[in-house]
Amino acid sequence: MAHKVFIDGEAGTTGLQIRDRLVGRDDIELIQIDPARRKDADARRDAFASADVAILCLPDAAAKEAVALAEGLPVRFIDASTAHRVDPNWVFGFAELTPNAREAIAGAKLVSNPGCYSTGAISLLAPLVRLGLIAPGEALSINAVSGYTGGGKELIGEYERGEAPPAFVYALGQKHKHLPEIMKYAGLTARPVFAPSVGNFAQGMAVQIPLHLEGRGNIGDLRKALAEHYAGQQFVTVVDAPARIVPTAVNDTNRLEISVHGDDAIGCAVLVAVLDNLGKGASGAAVQNLNIMLGADEAAGL
């Protein structure tokens, strides 16, 4: 029998992309509500009551409200918003992060989907912190560039109407919503300095972490540590360092590509992760988590 899945926020940027990845699958039946009632609490509660899994593609407040509406129902949740990512009652849905992550996701009722920048930053930091190549209290910085779909419907509208600048740097006040989850799942005790930016392209993302090599070996050691951590993973791979980092390089896939750059003699390195903010950074990861929760082929629809 097909699993019943309800995408709450189906008409939004993330919701639409999840829907595209699920339509046509014969193991999944999508539950839909009348678009005119998409914010109606009764209609949404009925949908939660019929669903095996609900995927929340909503602003944080609406995601919290959705969980409250479904109180007492057996429905399982995948939340694409930031609302529950550091909540200890929720399993962080990053399958490649630890050896037992898949088992935890498979058995969970509540799964939070990592943020897009967080996916890139955590993928680079967590294995190296665990191996002691980066100290938890180290002063780190994270630089990133995202396509404008990361800003949801509002920012997309600005770009599509030609009202937005070719690129901008933002959130330099150091309160970006991804910092708590980056710290928690990378295992950091010191808050990194984060400088994200947006460019005039729809999808794609590059996350960069500059490091001094002193005390942690050479570029090859860092690359080897990351390659060993992600050995055998289908969606997260360590690749040879390209001369140019192209944020759109893995668009429309669920892949995340890691590369390690720098120079041993100079003593400086840059760790880089490239992903599609709407792929492994959102909708692709949500579908991967759904597949794991349902016991389906992890790559189905991806």
Binding mask 184-223 for ligand X2W (x = CB under 6 A): ------------x-x-------------------------
Instruction: Out of 12, 93, 127, 150, name the contact with ligand X2W by CB under 6 A.
Output: 150
What is the closest distance, in whole angstroms, from the C-beta atom of residue 187 to ligand X2W in the complex? Answer: 20
Site for ligand NDP in 136-175 (CB under 6 A): 149-150, 152-153
Whether 116 sits among the annotated catalytic residues: the reply is: yes
Binding mask 19-58 for ligand NDP (x = CB under 6 A): -------------------xx-----------------xx
What is the closest distance, in whole angstroms, from the C-beta atom of residue 197 to ligand X2W in the complex? Answer: 8
Transcribe 155-189 into DSSP letters.
HHHHHHTT-S-SEEE--TTS--TTHHHHHHHHT-S
Give the strand pairing for 91-92 and 110-112. Answer: parallel
**Nearer Cβ to ligand X2W (69/198):** 198
Is 195 within 8 Å of 144 (Cβ atoms)?
Answer: yes
Number of residues in contact with ligand X2W under rule CB under 6 A: 14
Does 204 bind ligand NDP (CB under 6 A)? Our answer is no
What is the closest distance, in whole angstroms, from the C-beta atom of residue 66 to ligand NDP in the complex? Answer: 7
**With CB cut-offs between 5 and 8 Å by kind, which of ligand NDP, ligand X2W, none does residue 112 bind?**
none
> Which backbone phi and psi does 22 adopt, to 5 degrees?
-105, -25
Write down the residue that tokens 């995340």 correspond to.
Answer: 256
Beta bridge mates, 257: 237, 274
Does 93 bind ligand NDP (CB under 6 A)? Our answer is no
Instruction: Out of 9, 12, 93, 115, name the contact with ligand X2W by CB under 6 A.
Output: 115
Is 257 within 8 Å of 249 (Cβ atoms)?
Answer: yes
Please state the separation of Cα 253 from the chain's center in Å. 13
Per the rule left: phi > 0, alpha: psi between -120 and 50, beta: everything else, 112 is beta
Beta bridge mates, 271: 209, 260
| Candidate segments 34-42, 102-110, 150-158, 285-293, binder of ligand X2W by CB under 6 A | 150-158
**Nearer Cβ to ligand X2W (197/218):** 197
Output 217-221 pairs: Cβ under 8 A, ≥24 positions apart: 217/133, 218/264, 219/260, 219/261, 219/262, 219/263, 219/264, 219/269, 220/264, 221/133
Does 259 bind ligand X2W (CB under 6 A)? Our answer is no
| CA contacts within 13 A on the Cβ side of 44 | 23
Q: How far is residue 215's CA from residue 29's CA, in Å, rounded to a whole number?
A: 53
Active site residues: 116
Which residues in this chain contact ligand X2W in the complex, by CB under 6 A? 81-82, 115-116, 146, 150-151, 155, 171, 177-178, 196, 198, 282
